[in-house]
Structure 1
């Protein structure tokens, strides 16, 4: 199937679900991204700052760029002029750097708090107490150029549906607790980013509002390809 066929399939899958598709474009060349754009994709997700910064000028300006990989504070400045959402906020230090760099460009960047929900220790993310420590910080009250709009998590790479449901349910629970305690009046705190090519159906069933899909749209990634 073609990229446009695959996108059409996901658009049909998501119809009426309240969930949106983030088309994960990492390692894929600009030509493939242009094909996805022509087929209606507007939310593009990249793992690496360098790759996102290289592709962004080559593509239409109405694309909503999401950084979904781990982000070092010293690299925020490279994407601050254009990134829409940083899904991988895992420290107060990073949040403050996003504020600083967004202010330089007089714009607001949206962000999701990334939680550790997987069994694998290699996956990064916050615990609930760590997230609450950030949200209770005095420094947070001064933020004007970064807006927290939800949570993100990466589930265990497994075929065990019960485990996946448990992990997705855990993230949904974290969202609910933060919403009630800190964002009850914030209508834009509404995103739960979870689910990828292999487990998106379970994620949607558990309340995902953003699924991150790459290989099911573009095919296998070519990690040796140049940007």
Structure 2
């Protein structure tokens, strides 16, 4: 099936309130253009340099999401155009995003990455750390970032019960943090679910799914 057909099929089964992020990392510009022509406007990349190159080459109404782990020293390269950063997992990183966004007179939306998987390899904060960060005096001074939700990755496993309970943890973390509403914290997004587990994620309350192979084919 083509990229266009894949997108049509996914959209038919996707509830209206779910934002579809097309994970286009490592894919050529022609593939992104085909997805764009099929109506896709939100793309997710995990390397800033690659995202910057694609931003230059593709239509300007695309919303670029940074979905990979972010190094502070690379933030400046995407501060001018990135729409949403999924993987914010420290005050230090948010401080840098705030600093770089200020230079472009923008507010950059960010999601806090919560560690919900049992695997050691996944980045993220504990729900307690996230709450502490959002209530901290330092975070309150950041005028150029807005935390708009949470993101998490489930363990890579066939055990659907485990995946489901990890997604439940992210949803309950979101509910717990939602009461913190400030100028720079307005939680509305739960980014969870990838090609292998997005249907479970939607059942557990996801509002944003990140799909790569089910759109562009296996790597």
CA distance in 2 between partners of 1:83 and 1:197 (Å): 23
Cα distance per residue 1:133-176 (max 9 Å; x no partner) = 21121111111111110000010111111001100000000000
The 2-side partners of 1:142 and 1:173 are apart by 27
Number of the residue aligned with 2:190: 192
5+ residue gaps, structure 2, are none
Q: Which residue of 1 aligns with 2:129?
A: 130
1:73 maps to: 72
Distance in 2 separating the partners of 1:149 and 1:194: 14
What TM-score, normalized by structure 2, do the two folds share? 0.97
Number of corresponding residues: 219
What is the distance in 1 between the residues matched to 2:6 and 2:193? 17
Once the two structures are TM-superposed, the CA of residue 5 in structure 1 deviates from its matched residue by 0.5
1:116-144 per-residue CA deviation (whole Å, 9 max, x = no partner) reads: 11111001000012112211211111111
Q: What secondary structure sits across from 2:117 in the alignment?
A: coil
Q: 2:10 aligns to what?
A: 10
Determine helix, strand or coil for the equivalent of 1:126: coil
SS of the residue 1:57 aligns to: helix
SS of equivalent residue, structure 1 residue 189 = strand
The aligned residue for residue 147 of structure 2 is 148
Taking structure 1 as the reference length, the TM-score comes to: 0.93
Q: Distance in 1 between matches of 2:35 and 2:21?
A: 11
| Structure 2 counterpart of 1:95 | 94
Paired residue for 1:44? 43
Residue number in structure 1 paired with 2:170: 171
Residues 143 and 184, structure 2, Cα contact 8 Å, conserved in 1: no
Aligned residues: CA RMSD: 1.4
Contact kept? 2:149, 2:174, Cα under 8 Å? yes
Change beyond 3 A, Cα 1:8–1:166: same
1:15, CA displacement in angstroms?
3.5
Counterpart-to-counterpart distance in 1, 2:163 and 2:82: 29
Q: What is the CA distance between 1:19 and its match in structure 2? A: 1.0
Write the deviation string for residues 73-116 of structure 1: whole angstroms up to 9, x where unpaired. Answer: 00000000000000000000000100000000011110000011
